[in-house]
Chain A
Amino acid sequence: MPLTTIHVRPTGVPDETTPAVETRDLARLFRRSPALAGVTLRVEAGRAIAVLGPNGAGKTTLLRILATALRPSFGMAAVDGIDVAEQPEEIRPRVAFLPHSTGLYDDLSAAENLRFAAQLMGLPGPDRAGRVGAALDRVGLTADRDIRVSAFSAGMRRRLALGRLLLGHPRLLLLDEPYAALDASGMALVDALLDEWRAAGATVLVATHAGERLAARVDGWLRLVDGLLVEVGGEGAGGEVKTEAALQPWSGALPVGSQP
């Protein structure tokens, strides 16, 4: 299937051939500097894919665009065939995003944080308490459920942010450095959750530096460097690999002094 053909569906449930994630010439500039410089890729539904690359490669920017937190500067991105810039409200119920910051409220307890998230996700009242309790239990924070998050360590905050992902049933999970700040048992928890999400048929994109740890848990990988897709491997991911020369068209966008 040529990558230049993007599968955009206006609404509805995607068919089997619709990629879970597809981008074409996707670019995002911050001021005049490209964080993503024309990325074309495709991820099949139900796959777990590692997004690798050094700091500043564009991993987080890619995830944030797919989560509808950022709009592309150029090109396009689609989730389940739906354009993220055109119909973000159609994307949001399908996607769960674990950002690098945890997005928690310090003055609320762990349970209150999850209850608030459950309310905004539209979980019906009768299910809410049960789902919150189960999520806290799964991430090992039941005993700390009534403690304010301001008293939590970085690892506990990370666990609670992971618990928020367990409240819904997303089709696409976007995890930005999920192992960050976690101890050995926390990392094992992430491993177990990844296995569960894969078994449930969800698509998972994991931006990480811990590629070795993930190797056994992902179907394939994408590697970004300087906003370019430079390597694609394994199964379930495809893309148009580019070399550094592809940055040339963006050189005018680079701030003075940073041009090669």
Chain B
Amino acid sequence: MERGAAGGIATVTAVARHLAVARAIAAKDLRAELRGRQAVTSTLFLAALTLLIFGFALGPDRASLAAAGPGLLWLAVILSGVLAVGRLHQLEMEDGAFELLALYPVPRAAIYLGKALGGLAAMVALGALVLPLTAILYAIDVASALPGLVLVIGLGALGFAAIGTLYAGLTVRLRAREVLLPLLLLPVVAPLLLAAVSATASLLAGDPLGELGAWLQLLIGYDLAMLLAGGLTYGLALEE
């Protein structure tokens, strides 16, 4: 009994330590990223530009713009998200920091979780910019469906950060990483894009949150699967 209790305490202590490591990595990433304002501004600007350019391409017809809104919202989030998750790993390459990060006596999964948390914060920030901008540019009423949209954007951001962090880690040492990351990542996020766009369109069409069961299940399942895959395989990114 005592051994069981001691084991339980040790497990809780280990989990708390892993979470503290993850929090430290995420906080470091965000602090560094916010200080290098150029990169943050560029990423946000790309999201806004994507919405604007597609708006021009679709023409002035309000109905077409409103119909395309959910898809373009997620395209803007995902395309600029590729830059955001890539940036968080490029920070590690500035002076060989990635190699040292791998040598700290912490589990690979805790390092992954920290990088993914940083990615999640970046994705949520992108969502917070893109949602109101989509509403303005495409004349869409988002206010009435706001709680559901926040949930869907949160789940989509988590899934993208989970898989984006893994792929950014795996490609960061490669010379052609800027090209390879989107090439490898975008096909894998297709299920997430499908579920998130469909759920967003349903919410904007006035469907209650309760009717989105299948899409929400897909998003949650995707998030869990990608987090698990990242936690188990991110160690490969840290090996040379």
The residue on B at minimum CB distance from A100 is: B96
- Kindly supply a per-residue 1/0 record for chain B positions 103-140, scoring 1 wherever the CB is within 8 Å of any chain A CB and 0 otherwise: 11111000000000000000000000000000000000
Nearest opposing residue in chain A for B108, CB measure: A89
Is the Cβ of A102 less than 8 Å from the Cβ of B21? no
Given contacts A119-B20, A148-B35, contact A69 B94 (CB under 8 A): no
Return A148 CB to nearest CB of chain B, in Å.
Answer: 7
Among B95, B101, B102, max chain A CB count under 10 A is at: B95
- Contact size class for A? 20 to 34
Chain B contact-residue range equals 20 to 34
- Known contacts A70-B240, A107-B32, A112-B31, A101 near B105 by CB under 8 Å: no
CB distance from B90 to the nearest CB of A (A): 12
Interface string of A103-119 (1 = CB under 8 A from B): 11111100010001101
Give Cα A105 to B100, complex, Å.
11
Which residues of chain A in 32-75 are interfacial with respect to chain B, using CB atoms and an 8 Å cutoff? 67-71
A69 to B32, Cβ gap below 8 A? Answer: no
Is the pair A101, B103 in contact by a Cβ cutoff of 8 Å? no
Contacts of B240 in A (CB 8 A): 69-70
Q: Are A104 and B103 in contact (CB under 8 A)?
A: no
A257 contacts B by Cβ under 8 Å: no
Are B28 and A106 closer than 8 Å at their CB atoms?
no
Given A103-B99, A119-B21, A119-B24: A108 and B104 interface contact (C-beta under 8 Å)? no
Considering only CB atoms, which chain A residue lies closest to B33 in the complex?
A: A107
| Docked-complex contact A68 and B94, CB < 8 angstroms | no
A106 touches B31 (CB 8 A): no
Q: Which residues of A contact B36 (CB under 8 A)?
A: 107
Partner of B102, one of A69, A106, A107, A121: A69
Q: Which residue of B lies closest to A103 (CB)?
A: B100
A97 within 8 A of B: yes
Smallest beta-carbon distance A70→chain B, Å: 6
Interface string of B16-48 (1 = CB under 8 A from A): 010011001100100111011000000000000
B234 smallest CB distance to A (angstroms): 15
- A117 — which chain B residues lie within 8 A by C-beta? 104
Which residues of B pack against A, CB within 8 Å?
17, 20-21, 24-25, 28, 31-33, 35-36, 91, 94-97, 99-107, 239-240
13 A-B contacts (beta carbon < 8 Å): A92-B103, A103-B95, A103-B96, A103-B97, A103-B101, A104-B95, A105-B97, A107-B31, A112-B28, A119-B24, A120-B24, A122-B106, A157-B95
Q: Which 4 A-B pairs have the closest CB atoms?
A: A101-B96, A103-B100, A120-B104, A107-B32
